[in-house]
Structure 1
Amino acid sequence: MKALLPIALAAFTATAGLAETMKMSVTTSFANSGLAEVLLPEIEKDTGITVELLVVGTGQALELGANGDVDTVLVHSRAAEEKWLAEGNGTHRREIMYNDFIVVGPAADPAGAHSAATAADAFAAIATAQAPFVSRGDDSGTHKAELKLWKAAGVEPTGDWYKAVGQGMGAALNTAAGLDAYIFSDRATWLSFENKAGLELLFEGDPALFNQYAYLPVSPTKYPHVKAAAAEQLEAWLTSDKAKELINGYQIAGQQLFNFNATSE
């Protein structure tokens, strides 16, 4: 799997003099699931906009927007998004699509996570067994969701069994595969991840694992240089019937990775 680096990825070359280039900070799960490679060429073809992605965790993605380094943001941590908006960094929040989180771990499942009734119970079982657990530890949306579940489980995750790597989802999954450890992942990255080794999907389906992605344009009032018109045009495309068809139709090994749920305004 490609290394997850916080660098700008030029989407595609602009159509002879017609394309406008804009920057969007996005989560690693959006970029590395392969969905970006499906959407970006269609966006450029339909709108003339070349979208450059800055691929980072949610915390960094929002920070790039707060600093005026991008024109818009696509992330998945509602509490952080609402705080960011309240601080005057963006114009609004528009829901685009969702998937879910899952608990992955060794096939032998020494903690019995597969038998848990809830995600919080699965986390509590892992902590009780002190089974190796790899955390992204990077202030991403996935990391924030993981910490929320530890809190729900009444666990302060510390000790040699808990390994925070401070890296993106792909790198964290590689570490978990090497250690035969448990890990909390978004479904899309897990399905697109090739180095599964002895890991399996052990727990899913709890409503607490719902994972919403939202689009947040950066405020042109705070940063007059941002490309607000292009951001508005991109939002219109991402909430269109064509985007719905492409997002819902994107599959790996026969499994749908994302579900479109944008509403018209």
Structure 2
Amino acid sequence: MLKPGAGWLRAVAVAAAVMLAGAARAETPFITVQSTTSTQNSGLLDAILPQFTARTGIEVRVVAVGTGHAIRNAMNGDGDVLLVHDKAAEERFVADGWGVRRFDVMHNDFVLVGPVEDPAGVAGGQDAVAAFRAIAAARAPFVSRGDDSGTHKAELRLWKLTGLDPVAASGEWYRETGAGMGATLNIAAGMGAYALTDRGTWIAFGNKAGLDILVEGDPRLFNQYGVILVNPARHPHVKAREGQAFIDWLTGPEGQAAIAAFRVGGEQLFFPDAR
């Protein structure tokens, strides 16, 4: 009878190790969080999620898309937790039975950025609606995300207050990217255009060439984030125990402290406000 050679034994050992590693990973508890791009692009989630995993042993897998897309994904059951920034849409999500309960997590604000040359003459203002009207009157280039994100919805609310319809000028001075905040800011920088952005993404954004914050401080630019457990009564596969553990951590003292401690260039990006 032939005895197995050393090479064959090594191959068996390697295969067994791979199988054991795969089994161990399969047993590692994890949740899927449907979230907005700003929490990812700013670096916040990369900074705080390892702290949650170290505390609980639960891995967090993030799907970072626009808020509207994230909500639709959660309605389809493609996630355990929703972390986004459109309070009205979040409250509808819960009222319609897709989520269990909504919790405030943190806030920052939106800012209007634009070219330092400022062809619409809005720099230094605190009235976002007046600034939007001035941009439209000057037919100065404005870049919109156009992607049903929380930022896009905030922008549309401001346009509605102006009484103007910028979409009528789509492809002219008003451009819709259908992309995330980082890509939209890159396009705005390349075009010398105005854009609405959350402050967190702006602070972390590297390509500010020729752009600056021109309008800030309007109470209508307040940007609230909320977290919701996807309703397991609608989607029985939702990991309710692990998902609620994440929500409890995020809105509890440790998670709130982690959010407050996150900074880029010494500047705080998000302000915890769970109650």
Which residue matches 1:70? 79
In the alignment, the residues of structure 2 paired with residue 171 and residue 156 of structure 1 have an alpha-carbon distance, to the nearest angstrom, of 24
Structure 1 residue 142 corresponds to structure 2 residue 154? no
How big is each residue's C-alpha offset from its partner over 1:143-165, in whole Å with a ceiling of 9 and x where there is no partner? 00000000111211032000011
Which residue matches 2:165? 156
TM-score (norm 2): 0.88
Q: For 1:141, give the aligned amino acid.
A: G
Kept in 2, the 8 Å contact 1:31–1:55? The answer is yes
Which residue matches 2:95? 86
Q: 1:21 aligns with which of 25, 30, 35?
A: 30
The runs of 5 or more residues in structure 2 that have no matched partner are 1-21
Kept in 2, the 8 Å contact 1:138–1:167? The answer is yes
Kept in 1, the 8 Å contact 2:125–2:216? The answer is no
Kept in 2, the 8 Å contact 1:18–1:48? The answer is no
In the alignment, the residues of structure 1 paired with residue 175 and residue 69 of structure 2 have an alpha-carbon distance, to the nearest angstrom, of 21
In the alignment, the residues of structure 1 paired with residue 82 and residue 56 of structure 2 have an alpha-carbon distance, to the nearest angstrom, of 18
Structure 1 residue 46 corresponds to structure 2 residue 46? no
- The more displaced of 153-162 and 139-148 is 153-162
Kept in 2, the 8 Å contact 1:56–1:168? The answer is yes
In the alignment, the residues of structure 2 paired with residue 86 and residue 123 of structure 1 have an alpha-carbon distance, to the nearest angstrom, of 33
* Matched ranges for 1:189-228 at <5 A: 189-228=201-240
TM-score (norm 1): 0.91
Structure 1 residue 116 corresponds to structure 2 residue 125? yes
Greater fraction of residues in helix: 2
In the alignment, the residues of structure 2 paired with residue 36 and residue 255 of structure 1 have an alpha-carbon distance, to the nearest angstrom, of 16
Kept in 2, the 8 Å contact 1:75–1:214? The answer is yes
How big is each residue's C-alpha offset from its partner over 1:131-181, in whole Å with a ceiling of 9 and x where there is no partner? 000000000000000000001112110320000110000000010010010
Higher Rg: 2
Q: For 2:257, give the aligned amino acid.
A: E
Q: For 2:152, give the aligned amino acid.
A: H
1:116 deviates by 3.4
Q: For 1:222, give the aligned amino acid.
A: R
Q: For 1:127, give the aligned amino acid.
A: A
In the alignment, the residues of structure 2 paired with residue 16 and residue 61 of structure 1 have an alpha-carbon distance, to the nearest angstrom, of 26
Name the count of aligned residue pairs.
251
Structure 1 residue 60 corresponds to structure 2 residue 72? no
Q: 2:257 aligns with which of 242, 245, 252?
A: 245
